[in-house]
Structures are given as C-alpha cells and as structure tokens.
Structure 1
Amino acid sequence: MDVCGGITVFLSLILTCICALMGGLFESARAAGSGWYMQMALNSSLDSLMSCYHREIWDKYRIFVLECADKERLAAEMEPQMETYLAAAPFYPVSGGKVQIEAMDAITGHNGDFFAKEVTDYMKVGVWTLESEESELPEMEKRMTEARAVHGIAEGYQENGRKVLRLEESIEAIGACLQKQEKHLEEMEAAVRQADGSSFFQSAESLEKELKQIPGLVAAYEKQADRLAKELQGSEQEAQEAQPDLEEGSWGMVQEEMRGYRSYLDADGARRQEVKKTEETAHGNEEVVAEAVRKGKEIQDYIDDWEPDDEDDELDEEALWASVLTITAGFQKDGRFRVPAVRDKKKMNVLEAVSRLSGTDLLSLCVPAGTVISENWISTAAFPSALYAGGESGKRGTAGDVWTAGLERALLDAYAAHFFTRFGQEKTGSVHYEQEYLLQGNASERENLKRTVNELLAVREAVNLAALYADSEKRSEAEALALAITGLAGITPITAAASFFIMTVWAFAESVADVKVLLAGGKIPFFKQPGEWQISLSALTEKGASIFLETGTDPSLKNGTDDRGLDYQDWLKLFFLIQGKSRFCYRMMDMIQNRISEKEPGFRMDQCQYGVSVSYAAQGTLIPLRRTSQKEY
C-alpha cells in the first residue's frame, strides 16, 4: 500500500532542527555558565587566600595583611582551591587551567595610603571617642605650627639679646680703659708735682700702654657690631618668612621686638661715631704723652748733669718739672662710656646661665627622679620609612603626602595613641618609646625621647612667651627688672632688648617646669592663666637653674585631674597633627615590623600584601576562558 511520508519527513526535520537548536542553546548556556562558575570559583579561591591574613598583626594592631611576596607561591596556593571548586561542578568542565598573579599591592605602597585606609576603616567601626571635633583639628594644627614658628623667632632674638649685652660689654671695656688712662695721667701729674722722675716715667709708660689698647678695643667693638647687625637682619628675614604661620597677635609681638632691635641699631650708629672718636682722641693723647716724656727726659738729664757753682746753690727741681704740666694740660680727658650698660651683673649672669640651657639635653632634668631612661638602639635599615619615605631625613614624607580629611587625621592620631607605647607607660618589647619614634624616627631611644622633650619645651616656651606679652603685670615686672639690671633709662633700646631677653628666659624656665609636670603624669593647659605660673621672676633671678629642682613636684599638678589641662599623651597627639601623613604612616609600619620581628625574625612589612589581582585561564567545552579577580582588605 502506498503511503505518503512527506508529513513524517517534515516533522522529523522540524524535530531535528528543534533538537539541534535546543542542543546549541544548551551548550551555549553551559559555556556561559562555565565562565560564570569559573569567575565565582576564582573569587571564592581569592577570598580563601585573603583569609590567610597575618593573625599576630590583626591581634595586636587590627589591620589585615597577607604575608607573601612570591607570586608563584600565591598562585600555587590558589590552584588546588580552584581545582576543588571546578571538580564539584562537572556540568561545567574546563581543562588546562592556570592561575596567574597579575599584581600584588604591598601595604607599604602608594605612599602609605593603603595602610592609612586600613587603619581608618577599623577606627570608623570601632567604638572610639575622639577628644576633639573634626572641625577643631585645623585650629589645633595652626596653634602648634604657630608655636613652633614663634619659638624659632624668639630663640634667634634671645641669642641676639645676649650679643647686644656682649656688645655693651665691649663698650664697657673701652670705658674702663679710658678710666685707667685718667688714673695714670693723675699719677703722672702727681709725680711731676713731687719732682719724682722715676714715678713719672713709670706712670707715663702705663698710660701709653692704655692708649695703644684703644684701637684694638674699637676694632673689636666694630667687628661685634657688624656681626650683630648682620644677624639681626637674618632674624628679621626669618621672622618675615614665618609670618604666614603667625596670627595677628603673635605677629604684633614679633614686630614690636623687631622695632626694638632696629632702634638699638639706630642708636648704636650714633654711638659708633662716639666710639670712633675715642680712637682719634687716643692718637692725639699719645702725642701729648710722648712730648711730656721727651720733656721729662730733658729735665731729668739736666738734673742728673747739674753741678752747683758753690755750696749754697740749690736746684729747684719742682720748678723744672712744672713745665711738664703745661704739656700734660693738653691731654684730652675722654668722659664717654663711664656708666656700665649692665649694672647688676649677678642677676644678668644668672639669667644668661639659664638661657644657655635652652636647646641642650634637658632630658635628665625633666624626667621624674629615679626614672631609668631606655638606652636601646633600633635597627632601622630595613624599616619601611628607610626604604620608601627617606627615613629620618624625610621630614615631610614623600609625594602625595596629603591628609584627605580632618577625620582621617584624627583617626590615625587616635590609632597611634592607642596601639603604640610611649614614655610613662609599661615597657613592653624592645622599643619602649614607640610614639616618640613616630615623631623623631631616630635609631636611639634616648635621642627620640630627648628630641620630643625638646620640641615640647620649645612649644611650651613659645606659648608661655605669648602669655607673658598678654599679661601686662608680668610684662611690667620684666621691664622693671631690665631697667634695674641695665640702669640706663636714657638708652631705652638696650633696656628693651634686655626686657625681651628676660621674658624669653622666664618663658623657657616655666616651660621646663611644665614639661616636668607632664612627664610626671600631670596636666598643663595650652594657655595658662596668670595664677597658674609655677616660677616667679624674682625666684628665677635669685636661684637660677637650681629652681628646676624645686618645680614640677607639686602633687596637685601631678594628679592629672584638671579637666582644663592636657597630659603628655594629649601633647603627643598635637605633635602628630603636624606630621606629614606619609612619614607618619611609614613610621607606624616601622614599629609594627619591629614588634612582629621579635617573634618572627626576618618579618618585613613590604612583604605583606594589602591587595591581590589574579587571573585564571582554561579551555572550556567550546572556547578558551579567562577570568580575573581583585581583592583588597
């Protein structure tokens, strides 16, 4: 029986096409699924790899890092995990897969930004109470920067003040020489009246010696005056350069001192002419003395050769010698510079001795009695700061050293204060003064603490000096002492220079007392009220440096309960504010590396990874597949 099969064939072809289409779609879906599954497997494998973070660093410092610097090793660790994931999905077969580490971002990279991000991420989610509002940070930073600038200017003018007094001493030397000349002249004339030739010639010789000293004394004065003028000009230039860092009140204080020293130089210009005249007068007097000596020798020779004509003849020697007096009458007595510039030398010497302590090693004086200062040395050669930020010489870090926000700065400061040790805390590990290292970066523990104390002294001195200027009573006290010491109401510029010198010494002495309180665990307000000063000016001039042995020992100052004050940790945080971000972050990494390497010799932060980028390439069922993944902590 003949049967028509057209429909059957048609349906078979349709079914075949549908099956082929379904199969193609199925394979296409499986191929796409293979790619997505491989991406998921790669992400999961990388997550598993990143979960192998350094536990000790997390426990101690709450940051994540993956310790591995070998790309091949990381790839080898990931491949078994990839194989496990892929074997669990036979529906998505791939073959010939290979893991490749494309890039690794060390925690030390990008100028310390990776480290800063980890720190701020942790601090944001932690339960932290910041002592200062974010909006207050710029003002606090400005205060610290201004205090540093004021100290630098004041230190220069303090040294100039000492040199002004030294210059006045050179004038006193000229005045003393002139007085000796008058004394020897009187002795000469007395010898003439007594017809004592031997005493006359002896006094004349002494007078000639004093007259010949005048040119040397004048030259020494001019040399000191020129040097002082040059240094004062340099101090003014430094002050002008620091002006952008100064507020109006501080700049006004600096300008007032500059005017005082300028007026001294102007007055000194007139006195310099007077000094020069003493040399001219001395030359004229030398000729007078030489003529008197010549005449005296003639008279003495006549007397020695005289023989009387008879026994009753007598030689009137006094009448002969009287002619010498007509010559000595031409001697010009120079009455200049009789009054000394510094009358109370004892008090001035005491103040000078105290001022010379500024900038020296005052660490032993400031720390509490019985404190043992760490003398440990730190090996810094392999530290991140030495490798990436120039070490101690990198005073402001490297390029990109910018704080992105006030909150970031506050969080990093709080982190440093919490996780790193400082002076006054229980000593743990080989480095006892970690926070001081963050500020100074020196290999010597003692040097780090000493420099920190000196910087604290400098800031406190500047703030105290500003307080003295603002306190009319204390300022008047300093001016009165300056007038009493100089005793020269007619030479105001000298008194003004002495007054500023006294205030800088007073401010420095008070800063030593302040730092002693801080290192003993007490608190000191940033700006002191008049009644909060520990050292009086009268006690300072009476006791000198020995007063430091008595200050900073008041228990009421050491208990740290004054809410107005800042303790040593608070002051360290203020110093953190004016550090460069990059340098600050690298030095924190230095201390982390140092602490971890105590248990793990050879540990290095630059071998710890913040982020990893990987790729995986394999042959799928139809086409080659390649996927990438990147993870950061």
Structure 2
Amino acid sequence: MKENQKGSITVFLSLVLLLVMAVIMTTIESARVNAGKVYANRALALAMDSVLAEFYGPLFQEYHIFGLEGSYGKKTLQPGSIETKIKNSMEYTFEPNKDLYYIDNYIPVENVNILDIQTTKLEIDNVNTLLDYNGDFFASQSISYIKYKELGNLSEKFLSKISLIEETEQAQSILNEKFKTEESIYKFDKNITKLMKLIDGITISEKGIEKGRNGIKVQESFVKKLFVLPVSSVNAGVYNPIVFNPLQNHYTNPIAIIDEIISTLDAIGDNLNLIDEARITYKFLSLIDQSVFTDEEELLQHQQALLNAYETLQNYIQIEQSLLKAVSEKTGSLEKLINGTLISIEKAIPVTEDLIIKQVEITGEINKYETLLNTSKDQLNQDFYEGLLEDFLMMEKYKGNHECGLEGYDFEGMKNTLISNQKVVGNAKNFLVTNISPTEPELLQAKSSFQNMKMAVMQYKYDYLIFDYTGLKEPEESEGFFESVRNLVESGIIGLVIENTEGLSDKVLDIEDLPSAILKVEESKEPDDISAIYAYVNLESGIESIIGTFDSSDDIMGAGNIVEGIGELILFQEYLFEHFQHYNEKDLKDALTALDYELEYIIMGKRKDVNNLKAIIMRILLIRTIMNVISLMGDGKRNGDARLLAAAFVGFTGLPALVTIVKTLILFIWSFVESIVDVAALLEGKEIPFLKGKNDILLELHEIILINKTFIKSKADSIKENNSSFALSYKDYLRIFLFMESQRSKNFRSMDLIQENLQLRYEDSFLMQNCLYGFGINGEFGMEEKFIALPFVKDFLNAGESSYSFKIIKEYSY
C-alpha cells in the first residue's frame, strides 16, 4: 500500500514539473517570437537604410539631392534588384556568421541562432521617385539644404524689391482702365466720322480728310447737300474754311431749281400760245389758192409769207422742245437730289441711334474711370495724377447731355431733325413730276405740284446737324518718326541690347525623357520677340496694336500680392541661384552644362537656349515699357511734348480722342525705345530704377529719330552705378520671375537640367525618373518552434514541422 502511494506522488510531481516547464518554455518562446518580430523589423529598417545609403553620388555632390538610382544601369526602375539587395542585407543580420572569411579561409563560429528568422516573402509595393507629388520631394530637399546656409537679410531685401511692383499696381490698374475708356471713345469718334460723311459729305480718318484730284473729296449725296438757306459758313454750321470752301460749291438749293422749273413751265405756256397763233397763220396762208395771183410779184410775196409762217411755227416748236428738255433735266437733277438726300438720311438715322446708345455706355465707362481716379489720388504720384487728369478732361466731353455733354453734339436732336427731314423729303418727293406734256392743263397741274413741292422743301431743317471742325488743319509728316522705330527693330531686339550676338548659345535641349516632358509641363507662352508690335507701327495700325498691351502684364505686375509662404519660396530660389547659372554670370561654373542660360530655362522652359534668353529680355522689355509710360505720363513737360507731337500728327482730324490716343502711342514708342536702353544696361550688369524719376529718363523725344545700336550702347554706358533699394538688376528680375513661376514648373525644369547635366558629366543613362526618394515594402517572415515543441511529444503525436509567421509593412525615405 505504501509503495503505491509513493508512486503516485512521483507521477504527480512529474506532471507538476512538466506544467512548470511548459509555462517557462511558453514564456521563453513568446519572448523569442516577440524578439524575432522586433529583430526582423529592425533588420528590415537597417536593410532599407543600407539600400538608400547607395544614393547616386554625382546627384548629391553636384546638387545636394539624395536619390537612389533605382535602374542600376538599365532604362527603367528595377524593384527586383532592390528587393534582392534588401534580402541579402537582412541575411547578414539574421545569420551573423554568413560569409565570414579571413584570407580566403572560412572561419567557423560556434553559436546558437536562437531566433532563426527566415525571410519567406519580400515585395516592394510603393515607390516614390523625385518626380512624384509635383516634384515636392526634390523641392523639400533643396530647401533643407539651403536653409542652413548663411543668407543674411535676404528675405528683407527680396521683399523690398517685390514691394516696388506692389506699389505700382494701382498705377497700372488706372492705366488699364484709362486705355480701355480711350479705346471706347476712339470707336465712338469713328462713328461720329461716319455721321460727318453722311451729313456733311466729307470723309475723315486717321490720315485726315480724304482728298481727290481737285482737293477735298465730297460725297455725291449727303444730308446737307439739299440746302434751302443762303450758302454761308454760319448757315451751314461749318466754320473751318478748309472744310467749307470745297463744300460750298456742292450745296444745292432745291427751291432755286423749282423756281427755274416753274419759270420754264410758264415759258412753255407762253410759247404754246405763240405756236397756236403761228399754226393758224400758216394754215390760213396755205389754204389760199395760188392760182388767184395773176401778178408774178404778188405770187412771190405770198410764197415768201407762207415760208416765213412755216419757219415761225417750226421755231416755236423747237423752243418748246428746248424748254421741255430743260424742265426734264432740272426735274432729273431735282429727283437725284431728293433721292440721294433721302438715302443719306435713312443711313444717318441708325448711326445717331447707335451713338445715343454708345454715349450712355461710354458715360458709364468714363464715370467708372473717374471714380477710380479720384479714389486713387492719394496713392499716386502727384505729377502722374496731373497727367491723367489732363486726359480725363478730354474724356469728360464725351459724357451724355445729362452730364456735361459733348461740345456742340446733341445726337438726340440730330436724330429728331433727321426724322423730320425724312418726312419733308418724302412729302416733297410725292409732288415731283417727271413726265410733262406740253398741254395747258398738264402745265397748270405740273406748276401746281412744283409750287407744293417748294412749300414742302422749305420745311427742311438743319438744327443740331453741326460738327466741330475747328481743330482740322493740314497734316504734318509723321512717317519719319515711326519709320525710325521700324528701322530700329527691323533686325530684332536682341541685336540692339547685346553687343556680340554671335557669342550667344546655340544649345538645344532634347526633350526625350525630360521630367517636364513626362509630366507635361508646358513651356511659357512668352514671345521671344515682341518687336513685331512696333516693326510696322504707324498712325493707322499703331493705335490698334497698342490697345490692350497692358493686359498681358497683369500676371507680371500681380507678383506683389504673393506674400504667404514666401520664406520657402525665397530659400528655393537661393538654391536655384547657387546651383544654376544665368546669362552674363561672372562666376560661371567650369562643369559642362546642357544649357548656358539655365535660370532662364527654369522660368521659360523653351528648348532652345537662346529663345529662353530672348523671352526673358522681352518680358523685361514689356515691364520696363509699362513703367516708363507711367514715368513719362507723370512728367508734365515730356507728357506735353508728346501731346504737341500728337496734335501735329492728327490734330487736323478734329477728333480730340484720336489726339489723346496718338499721344499714348507716342508715349509707348518713347517708353519702348527707352526700355531698349534699360535692357541693354541691365544685361551689362547695371541697375535701373524700377519707376524712374524725371532725372532718370535717358532719352528725349527728339532723340528717337536718331536712335541706333551705337546710340543705345552709348546711353547704356552713361548710366552710373545705382545702389538704391529702388533699383533692380538683371538678376533681380530673374528672382522676381522665378517668384512668379509656379513651383511645379520650377521643380521639373530644374530636374530637367540636373538630368541633362549629369548625363553630360557622368552617365548618359541617368534619368531623374529612376531616382527613388523612398519606397514601401511588404515582408513576410517565419520562425520555427524551439521551446514548446518537444521532440518526444512530436514523435508521440506524429506531428510535422510547425512555425510562426508574421508580416511587416514598412516605408522608408530620405
């Protein structure tokens, strides 16, 4: 009995010990598995870090950008190669004695691999290249690099330059509104000239009064051609002798014609009685029998009397025919006058109606401009404001009658007069008789009709049909002024601002595989030559070509509004200036570059190197032209000089709006030529005040006709060094343009240059699209059981191999 009890205790203690060992082993196994997971996670991180440590050396050395060249010498990314590298790297962590050699001899190491981790699956499932997310990975690294450099008060300096643009935005806004309003007034003036042609019979254009062989050309029919008053400049409402003298011979008085017709009809009636008498006499003599005359002398006298009677009758008949012809001619001319006048009136009425509507519209535009001008007075330079106010006084004359009224022009009154005259002429036309038979009843009826017609046309009026021709005069020659500008730009702007154009780069960027081409970043639409605007400029085409020019600069001048996030923008710009070169940079890098004008390419994105430079020059030229217009318009004397020249060119037209617009054209041309000198100086490394004062203007108006390349260079060389914070250099303009360009475009165009430059300097197979910024990986790992799978149990249970598995998803980047 005792032996049996002792045996049970042994079994009990064995089972207890087994349970204790199971708990201990399970705890150890659990700790081992958790340790394995941590170990695998760290091994994977170490392997990914090891792979990213193989960043492309030239990319970092040249441009301080980390990027893993993931193609490994091939055309596209090789995720499999990266996976293999990671797997191989992890094996050294999982197997510490792997490949342990010393002088080609393997060194065995006795150790126990308690974790025994196996990699069962490794797959890259997320790859981010430097091109992803609009190139922000590239930009962030650029900013991270540059922000640790000593930049001093760079932000303050740059913001002060940007503020110059911001301060001129109001002036540009006013000029935009001014030119739009003047354009409307100019079109309004052109409609008035249509009315002048219909009412006064003369044609006025930008060239002045249209002329024929014998002087001023007068229309065959016009409203005032039918003129019932004594002809005088006062009665005609035409006070300028240049216009009145040729017109006075074309006025036709229908009353005089009618009186002549009536007088002729009376003459026909009188002649009709004489014809009757002559016919009776002739008939009486022809009935006498000549045989009754026995005396030969008496017979001869009778025959002579008969002949005389016949000749008298024929003479009266010829007089009648002549008088009838005269009446026919006069009625024909009267009919032509009536019909031509009626057609002119019918054409003129809708023109007046259109002018009435247009006057309301331009009155609104003028009021809008006036409000803008008044509210901006305190923000503008006083001289500039005075120049604008002077032009506004001309605009104000074009307001509707309820305001101050266009001097001498009442279009509503004109319309009413024309409608009244239309009825008068139509009524008169009803009394017109064209076919008149030489019978007493018809003659009396025709005479009555013409008398009624006379009474009708006497109601014809000329109230309000008056135009102001006081400003009309003989034109002065303007072609020489504009020809000098055409000759100046005929060979292109570049040749004027750069002394040695043969030294310009002829490099071209191959767009194949460029990041910007892959991501479809379009090149700037900036023209590389705006000289065409001025190459054919004259009074006719120039007026139309300059209207709206300011609109193309809205984005440029709007740069002053961007203030948020400016810190990173400035840092990125400094990175670009440190790593890329621009035109005329003194410290050019010795390394090979795909383009010489790299910053210009980042801004414009054009394939040809020289086209990027041209586009930058044209953009600067446009800005300088705008700013110089503001400066010249604010200079009372120079603004006055332009107005005097405009009056000499087109004052003869009598159209004040045209004079103002031509003055603007002259200011534009003046500013354009001044800007060519500015750009030439900027390209020589000099600084130009953003908004010039009176003493900063380089050219006077009379010097424009003398301009040539040598003259431009001498003017540019005469500019002294300017250290004012209000002056900008070529480099400053590049900074402003970069500031305005979208970050996406700058990112990809910068990577274009990096790719092309590294291909030139190192490997022609290098592509930015294959440069990894980071990647994600999906790994599966396994561990065999070690502490809970006892061999005798597995044999007893006939169990197979068993293991643990776990997944790790990880992302890693620079």
- TM-score, with structure 2 as normaliser: 0.56
Tell whether the 8 Å contact from 1:106 to 1:609 is kept in structure 2 after alignment: yes
Q: CA deviation at 1:527?
A: 2.0
**Which residue is equivalent to 1:516?**
680
| Structure 1 segment 243-258 matched on structure 2, within 5 A | none
| Structure 1 segment 65-214 matched on structure 2, within 5 A | 65-68=67-70, 69-88=77-96, 90-129=113-152, 131-133=154-156, 139=163, 142=166, 169=205, 172-174=208-210, 176-177=216-217
**Which residue is equivalent to 2:420?**
none
Larger Rg: 2
Distance 2:175 2:243 in 1: 43
**Which residue is equivalent to 2:605?**
441
Query: Using a 3 Å threshold, how does the CA distance of structure 1 residues 113 and 184 change in structure 2: closer, same or farther?
Result: closer
**Which residue is equivalent to 2:41?**
39
1:276-300 Cα offsets, whole Å, 9 max, x none, are: 99xxxxxxxxxxxxxxxxxxxxxxx
Match 2:519 to one of 388, 408, 426: 388
| Structure 1 segment 101-500 matched on structure 2, within 5 A | 101-129=124-152, 131-133=154-156, 139=163, 142=166, 169=205, 172-174=208-210, 176-177=216-217, 345-346=476-477, 349-351=480-482, 353-354=484-485, 361-369=492-500, 372-392=503-523, 405-425=565-585, 426=588, 428-486=592-650, 492-500=656-664
Q: CA deviation at 1:136?
A: 5.3
Tell whether the 8 Å contact from 2:69 to 2:770 is kept in structure 1 after alignment: yes
Q: Which amino acid aligns with 2:781?
A: A
Distance 2:642 2:692 in 1: 18
Tell whether the 8 Å contact from 1:437 to 1:448 is kept in structure 2 after alignment: yes
Q: CA deviation at 1:8?
A: 7.0
Distance 2:15 2:780 in 1: 39
**Which residue is equivalent to 1:629?**
810
Query: Using a 3 Å threshold, how does the CA distance of structure 1 residues 530 and 403 change in structure 2: closer, same or farther?
Result: closer
Tell whether the 8 Å contact from 2:120 to 2:782 is kept in structure 1 after alignment: yes
Tell whether the 8 Å contact from 1:423 to 1:432 is kept in structure 2 after alignment: yes
1:118-148 Cα offsets, whole Å, 9 max, x none, are: 1111111233346333865874674697798
Distance 2:767 2:663 in 1: 55
Distance 2:577 2:189 in 1: 45
Matched, 1:534 2:698: yes
Tell whether the 8 Å contact from 1:107 to 1:114 is kept in structure 2 after alignment: yes
Tell whether the 8 Å contact from 1:403 to 1:581 is kept in structure 2 after alignment: no
Q: CA deviation at 1:382?
A: 2.6
Q: CA deviation at 1:619?
A: 0.7
Distance 2:719 2:604 in 1: 26
Distance 1:506 1:415 in 2: 38
1:491-519 Cα offsets, whole Å, 9 max, x none, are: 54343223322222222221111101001
Matched, 1:615 2:775: no
1:387-426 Cα offsets, whole Å, 9 max, x none, are: 2143226999xxxxx9971111111222222221211134
Distance 2:87 2:42 in 1: 14
| Structure 1 segment 582-621 matched on structure 2, within 5 A | 582-599=744-761, 600-621=763-784
Matched, 1:574 2:705: no
**Which residue is equivalent to 2:711?**
550
Query: Using a 3 Å threshold, how does the CA distance of structure 1 residues 96 and 496 change in structure 2: closer, same or farther?
Result: closer
Q: CA deviation at 1:522?
A: 1.1
Q: CA deviation at 1:484?
A: 4.8
Tell whether the 8 Å contact from 1:368 to 1:519 is kept in structure 2 after alignment: no
Tell whether the 8 Å contact from 1:593 to 1:603 is kept in structure 2 after alignment: yes
Deviates more, 1:487-496 or 1:571-580: 487-496
- Secondary structure of 1:76 counterpart: helix
Deviates more, 1:422-431 or 1:440-449: 422-431
Tell whether the 8 Å contact from 1:355 to 1:508 is kept in structure 2 after alignment: no
Q: CA deviation at 1:572?
A: 0.7
Query: Using a 3 Å threshold, how does the CA distance of structure 1 residues 405 and 368 change in structure 2: closer, same or farther?
Result: same
Distance 2:473 2:35 in 1: 96
Identical aligned pairs, as a percentage? 21
Distance 1:85 1:503 in 2: 78
Q: Which amino acid aligns with 1:626?
A: K
Tell whether the 8 Å contact from 1:413 to 1:573 is kept in structure 2 after alignment: yes
- Secondary structure of 2:688 counterpart: coil
Q: CA deviation at 1:601?
A: 2.1
Distance 2:674 2:682 in 1: 13
Q: CA deviation at 1:37?
A: 0.8
Q: Which amino acid aligns with 1:562?
A: N
Match 2:31 to one of 29, 32, 39: 29
Tell whether the 8 Å contact from 1:130 to 1:414 is kept in structure 2 after alignment: no
1:127-183 Cα offsets, whole Å, 9 max, x none, are: 334633386587467469779878988998999999999996456242533579978
The higher relative CO (CA closer than 8 Å, separation ≥ 6) is in: 1
- Secondary structure of 1:592 counterpart: helix
Q: CA deviation at 1:457?
A: 0.5
1:89-141 Cα offsets, whole Å, 9 max, x none, are: 93321124332112111111112222221111111123334633386587467
- TM-score, with structure 1 as normaliser: 0.70
Q: CA deviation at 1:451?
A: 1.3
Q: CA deviation at 1:339?
A: 8.0
1:170-206 Cα offsets, whole Å, 9 max, x none, are: 56242533579978999xxxxxxxxxxxxxxxxxxxx
Tell whether the 8 Å contact from 2:171 to 2:630 is kept in structure 1 after alignment: no
Unaligned 5+ residue runs, structure 2? 71-76, 98-112, 194-203, 219-241, 250-339, 401-405, 418-465, 527-554, 556-561, 786-803
Deviates more, 1:499-508 or 1:113-122: 499-508
Q: Which amino acid aligns with 2:736?
A: L
Query: Using a 3 Å threshold, how does the CA distance of structure 1 residues 38 and 562 change in structure 2: closer, same or farther?
Result: same
Tell whether the 8 Å contact from 1:514 to 1:552 is kept in structure 2 after alignment: no
Tell whether the 8 Å contact from 2:186 to 2:658 is kept in structure 1 after alignment: no
Tell whether the 8 Å contact from 1:147 to 1:459 is kept in structure 2 after alignment: no
**Which residue is equivalent to 1:199?**
none
Distance 1:531 1:137 in 2: 21
1:14-44 Cα offsets, whole Å, 9 max, x none, are: 5443333222211111111111111111111
Tell whether the 8 Å contact from 2:408 to 2:468 is kept in structure 1 after alignment: no
Distance 1:15 1:269 in 2: 125
Distance 1:173 1:587 in 2: 56
Q: Which amino acid aligns with 2:810?
A: S
- Secondary structure of 1:375 counterpart: coil
Query: Using a 3 Å threshold, how does the CA distance of structure 1 residues 592 and 341 change in structure 2: closer, same or farther?
Result: farther
Distance 1:571 1:349 in 2: 34
Distance 2:183 2:495 in 1: 24
- Secondary structure of 1:391 counterpart: coil
